[in-house]
Amino acid sequence: MILLSRVADCLYWMSRYIERAENVARIVDVNLQLLLDSEDLNDSGMASHWMPIVKSTGDEALFARLYDKPDSGSVTDFLTFNRENPGSILSCILAARENARQVRDKISTEVWEEVNRLYHFVRAQNIKRIWASGPYEFYKQIKQSSHLLQGLSDATVVRDEGWEFIQVGRYLERADQTTRILDVKYHILLPSPRDVGGARDTLQWMAVLRSCSAFEAYHHIYGADVQPWNVADFLIFSETFPRSISFCLRQLSESLRRISGERHRYFSNEAERLAGKLQADLNYTSTEEIFRRGLHEQLLELQDCLADVGMELFEAYMFFPVVDPSKEDEEQGEK
């Protein structure tokens, strides 16, 4: 079976955007809940709670342009409904559906209809009222829809090259999002140094775990004690937890090799080489080393490498000139 480059690109981005929407929903949801445990926060308290979230999604400047100050209302709106923010949940879902629409003949009816349902859900007239009456329920719906889509594609999509591109998009995005969720904690300033290891610090690390659905899994392995290095160790290195960076990189490399038909430990393009190298580097790195060199710096480096993999993937399989036919199309006639 042949796979058009454009189709590969659409499958990859559909999958990435859905995964991104899910992760943004996770981050916002957990931080809204974390606020419930905080004392009453003044403006600067609100800012130090929410700004790290904005930073971790990468668009501080845009936020500053669109809103007066960071608080629960502005940050959740920015990350959930703002169409000007390409990383908002709404923007991600619109983009995912636009990509899915172009490949609806390549995905199963079930997958298409769920993407379409999710689209109509977030585009409903009363969606902000639905959100206001229960943000938790709203974000749960987004996450569940993403999970449903994964289940549906596992259960109904043919395991051909196109399916591998769906996997590549998902795991590349998920690895990237896990680095960002971990990095949130770096930005959160504790009120004073003596709070390190205190109740608030622990609560924040627990929030990080919850953002990754890793709370139960962590406790299963490390017991009740939530320690920063254990959390980092788990979310970066776990071989078995499906949202850890290591796990995602392994899936990514395997899918890339299934696409090219390349043997294990070999590579046939830059995307494969970089993904494999990243995986090997991580395998020979310890948690101690990461903390010694700085968690934040290490996470940024990982994000850069993942972005390179994405670019090389585009070069290897999808590159073709981009045109915008929207204007012309209105003239061209079918009847």
Residues that bind another protein in the complex, under the rule CB under 8 A:
2-8, 98, 101-102, 104-105, 109, 112-113, 116-117, 120, 161, 259, 317-318, 320-326, 328-335
How far apart are the C-alpha atoms of 238 and 243, rounded to whole Å?
9
Closest C-alpha among 206, 292, 214, 293 to residue 247: 214
Q: Which is nearer to another protein, 304 or 331 (CB)?
A: 331
Nearest distance in Å: CB 325, another protein: 5
Q: Which is nearer to another protein, 193 or 321 (CB)?
A: 321
Nearest distance in Å: CB 8, another protein: 5
Q: Which is nearer to another protein, 111 or 226 (CB)?
A: 111
In the numeric block, the tokens 């499906």 are attached to: 242
Q: Which is nearer to another protein, 7 or 275 (CB)?
A: 7
Nearest distance in Å: CB 254, another protein: 17
Q: Which residues fall within 8 angstroms of residue 331, CB to CB, at 6 or more apart?
A: none
How far apart are the C-alpha atoms of 54 and 48, rounded to whole Å?
11
Phi, psi (rounded to 5 degrees) for 189: -85, 135
Nearest distance in Å: CB 169, another protein: 14
> What are the angstrom distances between the C-alpha of 307 and each of 253, 254, 293?
15, 18, 21
How far apart are the C-alpha atoms of 194 and 197, rounded to whole Å?
8
Nearest distance in Å: CB 240, another protein: 31
Nearest distance in Å: CB 324, another protein: 8
Closest C-alpha among 241, 213, 215 to residue 226: 215
Q: Which is nearer to another protein, 109 or 227 (CB)?
A: 109
Burial class (CB in 10 A: 0-12, 13-18, 19+), 168: buried
Handedness of CA 109, 112, 114, 117 (dihedral sign): negative
Q: Which is nearer to another protein, 108 or 213 (CB)?
A: 108
